Amino acid sequence: MNEIQRTKSSGVKPTPKEHLERMRKGMTEATYQPPDLRKAKKRLKQDVMVHYDFQIPLDMQKIGINKHYYIRTYGCQMNEHDTEVMAGLLTSMGFTQTDKMSQADVILLNTCAIRENAENKVFGELGHLKPLKKENPDVIVGICGCMSQEEAVVHRIMRKHPFVDMIFGTHNIHRLPHLLKEAMFQKAMVVEVWSKEGDIIENLPKVRKGHLKAWVNIMYGCDKFCTYCIVPYTRGKERSRMPEDIIQEVKQLAQEGYKEVTLLGQNVNAYGKDLAFDYSLGHLMDELRLIDIPRIRFTTSHPKDFDDHLIDILAKGKNLLHHIHLPVQSGSSDILRVMARRHTREDYLTLVKKIQAKIPNVTLTTDIIVGFPNETDEQFEETLSLVRTVGFEHAFTFIYSPREGTPAARWKDTTPMEVKKSRLQRLNTLVNQQSKQAMEKYINQVVDVLVEGESRKNEAVLAGYTEQNKLVNFKAPKHLIGQIVPVKITEAKTWSLYGEWVTE
Ligand code: SAH
Ligand code: SF4
Ligand code: F3S
């Protein structure tokens, strides 16, 4: 079976007017298809096709021999994993990876659009690439990832950075061989960004970054449309991979000797909602836990979709790790409402109580935004109090950044930046205090550490992570690298633990 259709097929054709305009500009369908935020927002009841017949075109299979590629990745784990797929595609075309941009024949920037500073980093890098391209006009420069899904970004690149050879979107990754071919053999900029997708492409080649820990996509996209967030526009609608494809991938990783998998999705616990049969993240985890792989994590989960069944399955433990990253964003129900988070402060606290009751040793971490438009001091205080009440052991904290095309970006915001910065600082002080306290609990305990390698600062010291994802450094022989070993913790810092290998 090459392809399965779950209900109806989808696919966006240009309107007759758009088609004419493109013909007039001499642009073909494949070389010029820019993003469209309006289209990206539409969620039709069209089903997702799963394609199993991916192949690199014959004439591209050797095109990269004696050539190098360089990919710089920004953003989240989803992007990191997309980079592994692009590395797989390029390797299948004969290219070799290089760490030196100056040595590369193909340079890709896999970009992130989540906050303005993420985008600024990419525009800064583009500035550096210009002289490189001037020196070596044959090098192909490509922009992909979430920024390329934004209309304004694509227009800005076309206007201000015309030396870029190709721009392709998050739904066009499997098209890389075709796009590269066009970019190599024609002068015009190749732009292909599908705004409204429907498909899942299986069997894409991957070159994974490590040999111990692997990422496995279980679903793509997000349908939540939180009012501040660009992701539903850049990653498209929620669509789940078929369970058997995920199970097969995890089994394969176990066979290859991987010790840990992280199931990936913007909303992993919305997994299965779009499938034609009754199957959720709980069902999937219950099947995955039987696979002989020591550690299974998942990220990111949304409080709204965290059901009792999932908690019961996670409570079974074993290789299902008791660390849950559960973004809350704010401790104020009023702010959560304008964020369109679909949960209140009370809902969140009730959920946490339920999780803590069934999984007593659970570690909870979160994401928080401060300075959402017009957040008051009182509302911010509610966030601090929620952080204390839950006892988060870590949090990623951000100052709100307006994203063009999202509802919140149109709202007037009266809170001065200085106030937002000082709130962030107060929040970080609290979070760091709690992180340190959480670390101190481990002193004199023996924890299991997946040994990843030598410590970055001292090669006589090994480094690895506990089940709760705490970094542990300890002195031990190098042959332990790649194993899960017991370590007795002797010292705690804010970000890491120090310990001794327990040989018996
Ligand atoms: N899907 C995940 C989060 C993805 S983005 C979830 O819903 O939990 C990662 C984090 O970036 C978010 O949790 C949020 O805290 C932050 N974020 C998203 N949009 C932002 C914006 N416009 N400004 C500041 N932070 C933002
Ligand atoms: Fe963004 Fe909200 Fe979706 Fe997370 S759930 S990706 S914050 S829209
Ligand atoms: Fe950034 Fe896109 Fe991930 S916006 S956070 S790379 S989904």
Residue 186 is predicted with a pLDDT of 82
CA of 227, nearest ligand number: 2
Distance 173 CA to ligand 1 centre (A): 23
CA of 266, nearest ligand number: 1
Distance 260 CA to ligand 2 centre (A): 25
CA-only gyration radius of the chain, Å: 23
Q: What angle do CA 483, 268, 452 make, to 5 degrees?
A: 15
Q: Is 432 strand, coil or helix?
A: helix
**CA 246/CA 250 separation, integer angstroms:** 6
Residue 85 is predicted with a pLDDT of 98
Tokens coding 302:
């949304």
Tokens coding 495:
């970000």
- Residue 8, Cβ neighbours under 10 Å: how many? 12
Distance 317 CA to ligand 1 centre (A): 28
Identify the residue whose C-alpha is closest to ligand 3 atom 1. Answer: 112
Residue 38 is predicted with a pLDDT of 78
Binding site for [4Fe-4S] cluster, residues? 76, 112, 146, 222, 226, 229
- Choose one of 37, 108, 112 to mutate for the ligand 3 pocket test, by most ligand atoms within 8 angstroms of C-beta: 112
Identify the residue whose C-alpha is closest to ligand 2 atom 1. Answer: 229
Q: Which atom of ligand 2 is nearest to the CA of 222?
A: 3
Mean pLDDT, consecutive 10-residue stretches, the chain (504 aa), reads 41 47 48 79 75 94 96 97 98 97 97 97 95 94 97 94 96 96 89 85 96 98 96 94 97 98 96 94 98 97 96 96 97 98 98 98 97 97 98 97 96 96 98 96 97 90 96 96 97 95 88
**CA 291/CA 249 separation, integer angstroms:** 11
- Choose one of 78, 223, 229 to mutate for the ligand 2 pocket test, by most ligand atoms within 8 angstroms of C-beta: 229
Is residue 121 packed enough to be buried (19+ CB in 10 Å), middle (13-18) or exposed (0-12)? middle
Distance 301 CA to ligand 1 centre (A): 12
**CA 499/CA 471 separation, integer angstroms:** 11
| 142 secondary structure, DSSP code | E
Specify the residue for token string 């609990």. Answer: 441
Q: What is the dihedral of CA 167, 173, 179, 183, to 10 degrees?
A: 40
**CA 361/CA 351 separation, integer angstroms:** 15
Residue 162 is predicted with a pLDDT of 93
Helix (H) or strand (E) holding 252: helix 243-255
**Domain annotation for the chain: domains and CATH numbers:** 3-192 (3.40.50.12160), 211-321 (3.30.750.210), 329-339+359-440 (3.30.750.200), 446-501 (2.40.50)
Are the C-beta atoms of residues 476 and 459 closer than 8 Å to each other?
Answer: no
Are the C-beta atoms of residues 102 and 139 closer than 8 Å to each other?
Answer: no
| 185: CB partners within 8 A, 6+ apart | none
* Strand 166-168, strand 3-5: pairing: unpaired
| 238 secondary structure, DSSP code | -
**CA 394/CA 212 separation, integer angstroms:** 24
Residue 35 is predicted with a pLDDT of 85
Sheet with strand 200-201: strands edge to edge: 3-5, 49-51, 200-201
Residue 228 is predicted with a pLDDT of 98
- Choose one of 367, 383, 399 to mutate for the ligand 1 pocket test, by most ligand atoms within 8 angstroms of C-beta: 367
CA of 78, nearest ligand number: 3
Residue 473 is predicted with a pLDDT of 97
Tokens coding 312:
């019961």
Tokens coding 46:
């069209």
Q: Does 329 contact ligand 2 (Cβ within 6 A)?
A: no
Q: Does 144 contact ligand 3 (Cβ within 6 A)?
A: no
Distance 75 CA to ligand 3 centre (A): 5
**CA 431/CA 422 separation, integer angstroms:** 14
